[in-house]
Structure 1
Amino acid sequence: MTAAARPRRPAGKLIPAIYCQLGAMLLVAAMRPLLPVSVWHAEALVWLQGASAALLSYLLRQPMWWCWIHLLFPPALWWAHSNGISGQYGMVGFIVSALVFWRTAGGDAPLYLSSDSVADGLARLAETERAKNLVELGAGIGSVVVPLARRLPDLQITAVEQAPLPWLVLRWRCRRLPNVTVCFRNFWECSLAGSDMVFAYLTPAVMPRLGLKCAAEMEGKSLLVSSAFVLPDAVPEMVEKLDDNPANALFCYRVSTLLADRAV
């Protein structure tokens, strides 16, 4: 793959998030002399801090869930302090959250759990495609990998996960599944060459980059299956409806179509 064809990695979200809180802190400090004395108390100021950080996050075009985090983070800290809750609990919560949502800080998708119907639909597609192998990008704790591996023992599955705690759970759940290989790595750095099928349940923000990666690395006959989210400017070859949630579906893209779209 040439440098021109290599998909560009999006900027991480953690550093801009820190800038939002620091910027909001400076903004509130500058606004305080202009505010009525009635809102000088700490509770009002922490909510103003959160609202300012959320506004800055929105202006920087961070995902909407970051805006909610910015809004609620300062009041949550103040509430914990006011109720005598030790800062150690907050540190423990931060560490656990970081281990679970590791790749989110880098701009990738947070942990999502798929239903059994997703694994059932993916199994039907794998049987129809006569796929010999499948790669799941961002396998989480194995909510798809484990039931799929049990249903199709001849299907060789590579489960890629980077967040430490989900990876540990995934590794434990797959310890007796010989057809599953668990990889601890960033899935953007995982080669998809030779993959019959690739499955992903990510976010709309990363779908354009996912399409570029698959088109650059996979063979034309291979299939990309995305749960819930579509590729922009691409028409799925088929849509697999899910039994338990008709509003959701698996969107299937033949890589040869993606290659043709890139050539236009």
Structure 2
Amino acid sequence: MSRVHARPGTAPRIAILRAPAVQALIIQTFSFVLVVALALLVAPAGVEVSVAAATLLQGAAAAALSRWRRLAAWWLPIQFLFPVAVVVLLAVRLPPWIFLCAFLVLLPLYWTTFRTQVPFYPSGRATWLAVEKLLPSKSDIRMIDIGSGFGGMVMHLAEHRPSGDFQGIELAPLPWLASRLIARLRRNPARFMRGDYENLSLASYDVVFAYLSPAAMPALWHKACAEMHSGSLLLSLEFPVPGAEPQLMLHPQEGGPELYGWYM
């Protein structure tokens, strides 16, 4: 039986096109073209589509198409409000350099959020203390925070458990660089890597902490089950694993997100 082989580079392009942010952009562009075509279609009949009406139509079309494409529920209000926000920003006539500065500040922070679907979420000191209490008593404990952000948790644990090996891995360059610099200035033994945790083996870690997003949890669970050793602990703040009953459920802070735990 003959096999059909994809050309080199085809798979990455397909993966990018499947990214929710890319799909949302395509949907928004298509909705804009659709509204423009509608306005041109009714113009000969003397019907004028106002900017406000066109904006609402584009937002409604984008939200409806996003639902049809089964994007996450939180994409629907984003898609609806995006054209409204664009019109409002154009109306206030802000200088272009403001948008450039905002883009340059946010780019190294959110970097590949469009692909990973994991935005920047700071965990907070209450969570650090809760995780500290859950750490095994062994002196040579190895723990990693995947998506470590600015490294607050990892540095806290490394400071209070100096005999352990506490690491963080972060894909976005700005938080990674900041965490390394802060750790060096504080002479904190925490270690930080820049990279994608999906390419990192979890086999040697006793505790893995994650504060990711609902979209990332199924793949993380599959990876943890395949790689983490018996008796190790997977912790996730706020986002449970669909279909996997946690052995631990804590509220580090009243009114804050829940901390879930699974022993491998």
- Settle same-fold status: TM greater than 0.5: yes
Misfit runs of 4+, over 6 Å: 35-39
For residues 45-80 of structure 1, give each alpha carbon's deviation from its aligned partner in whole angstroms, at most 9, with x where no partner exists.
Answer: 223223322222222222333333322332222222
1:104-119 alignment, distance < 5 Å: 104-119=113-128
Q: Which residue does 2:33 correspond to in 1?
A: 26
Contact 1:140 1:170 in 2 (8 A): yes
Alpha carbons of 1:254 and 1:13: their partners in 2 closer, same or farther (altered >3 Å)? same
Percent identity over the alignment is 30
Query: What residue number does 2:89 align with?
Result: 80
8 Å contact from structure 1 (residues 160, 186) kept in 2: yes
Separation in 1 of the partners of 2:87 and 2:216?
34
> Partners in 2 of 1:96 and 1:47 — Cα distance?
30
Shift, 1:89, TM fit: 2.1
Matched residue count: 246
Residue 169 in structure 1 maps to residue 178 in structure 2: yes
* TM-aligned CA deviation for residue 137 of structure 1: 0.7
2:263 to 235, 254, 259: 254
Could you give the per-residue CA deviations for residues 11-59 of structure 1, whole angstroms, max 9, x where no partner exists?
4223212211111112212332349977622233223223322222222
2:243 maps to which of 213, 216, 233:
233
Conserved 8 A contact 1:131-1:197? no
1 CA distance for matches of 2:249 and 2:219? 21
- SS where residue 144 of structure 1 aligns? helix
Higher RCO, Cα 8 Å, sep 6+ = 1
CA distance in 2, matches of 1:164, 1:69: 26
Matched, 1:213 2:220: no
**Residues 1-264 of structure 1 mapped to structure 2, 5 A cutoff:** 11-32=18-39, 33-34=41-42, 40-128=49-137, 132-175=141-184, 176-242=186-252, 244-245=253-254, 248-255=257-264
Q: Distance in 1 between matches of 2:69 and 2:26?
A: 10
Identify the residue that residue 12 of structure 2 maps to in structure 1: none
Which stretch has the larger CA shift, 231-240 or 153-162? 231-240
Structure 1 gaps, min length 5: 1-8, 256-264
Whether the 8 Å contact between 2:142 and 2:165 is mirrored in structure 1 is yes
Cα gap change, 1:130 to 1:210, in 2 (>3 Å): farther
Per-residue deviation, 1:129: 6.5
Q: What is the CA-CA distance between 1:191 and the residue it aligns to?
A: 1.6
The change in CA–CA distance for 1:63 and 1:97 in structure 2 (over 3 A counts) is farther
Check the 8 A contact 2:27/2:66 in 1, yes or no.
Answer: yes
Residue 28 of structure 1 aligns with an amino acid whose one-letter code is V
Deviates more, 1:43-52 or 1:194-203: 43-52
| CA distance, structure 2, for counterparts of residue 84 and residue 249 of structure 1 | 42
1:140/1:167 contact within 8 Å kept: yes
Q: Which amino acid aligns with 2:35?
A: V
Distance 2:139 2:260 in 1: 18
- The residue type equivalent to 1:203 in the other structure is S
Cα distance, 1:138 vs. partner? Answer: 0.5
188-197 vs 117-126, which deviates more?
188-197
CA distance in 1, matches of 2:165, 2:51: 57
The separation in 2 between residues aligned to 1:38 and 1:114, in whole angstroms, is: 53
